[in-house]
Amino acid sequence: MSQLIAKVPPKAKGILYIVLAAFFFSLMTFFVKLSGDVPSIQKVFFRNIVAFVVAFVGLARSEEKFHVRKDSWGPLFLRCAFGTLGIVANFWAIDRLALADSNILNKMSPFFAIIMSYFILKERPNRVERVSVLIAFIGALFVIKPTAGIASLPALVGLSSGFCAGTAYTYVRKLSKQGERGVLIVFAFSAFTLLVTAPYLIFDYHPMTLWQTAMLLLAGVGGAGGQFSITAAYAHAPAKEISVFDYIQVLFAAVWGLLAWGELPDWLSVLGYVIIIGVAVFRWWYNLKQEEVIS
């Protein structure tokens, strides 16, 4: 079996891992919503316990242990801060939106990453990237439906989760360029989130049923599986070749939402999905074509 896996091309492995990550992350949002009436901050705490334990064990067994590069402390803190804000906003939106809607708004993160890369990494987006960001935001408007007034607040919070995630991913890229280890980044994010949310649990803990506890621990398993799967994906293939397959998460989420709650997105949301995923597919195709021209 191992010999058969070894023969699989790296790009195919990358696609497999990123589809697996999309599946795990969709399960995470599914179990978060199934946990019901639990404060979002409390959900975030339990969601990160599993990833913290797995990353802690991985670092403890590594040669460098918990060593952090001197130039990594600032970017690492900002990655953790934006990542924590993003996951709190995402969980809050999940409880108030159709599962597919909250997922697609969070998946605006790659387009926000293009914007934030200009400020953080000094990378100027080309014309195609600038236009793709604009079109993606138009697609997001169909999901948000701003004419709904105050009813669109959960959607705006969902969109803000995409901004925070995109900013966090940009800092992950910065840290990776500086040579920081992926498992350390996962550990730092998980530990930071636990530390930030722990005081809330100490002073305002909401008792949970066995069902709610089980659902949040399963969300933690999904989140950890997603984090490590996506790390493995980008270790096997460049982001420009496989990142588009991450949008399969929206399809998984739509299936869970339909089966569990009978959620059917309206035609405006579907149009928004098509626009956002369509422009992501175009960017992926365009980047591959540019790579062929250069080579």
DSSP output for 9-62? -HHHHHHHHHHHHHHHHHHHHHHHHHT-S--HHHHHHHHHHHHHHHHHHHHHTS
Rounded Cα–Cα distance for residues 162 and 172 (Å): 15
Is residue 283 predicted with pLDDT exceeding 50? yes
| Least confident interval from 65-74, 148-157, 168-177, 215-224 | 148-157
Which pLDDT does position 82 carry in this prediction?
96
DSSP output for 187-243? HHHHHHHHHHHHHHHHHH-----HHHHHHHHHHHHHHHHHHHHHHHHHHHS-HHHHG
Supply 275's token pair: 């626009």
Per residue in 139-170, pLDDT (tens digit) is 888 887 765 554 578 889 999 999 998 899 88
Position 217 confidence tier, pLDDT thresholds 50, 70, 90: very high
CB 85 within 8 A of CB 209: no
Rounded Cα–Cα distance for residues 266 and 257 (Å): 13
Q: Tokens 């960017």 label which residue?
A: 283
Rounded Cα–Cα distance for residues 241 and 78 (Å): 27
Is residue 4 predicted with pLDDT exceeding 70? no
Domains held by the chain: number: 1
> Highest mean pLDDT range out of 147-161, 227-241, 245-259?
245-259
Domain hosting residue 84, numbered range: 2-294
Q: What is the pTM of this model?
A: 0.84
Q: Is the dihedral of CA 125, 184, 158, 259 positive or negative?
A: positive
Which pLDDT does position 147 carry in this prediction?
56
Which pLDDT does position 295 carry in this prediction?
59
Ramachandran area for residue 8 (φ above 0: left; ψ -120 to 50: alpha; else beta): beta
Position 6 confidence tier, pLDDT thresholds 50, 70, 90: low
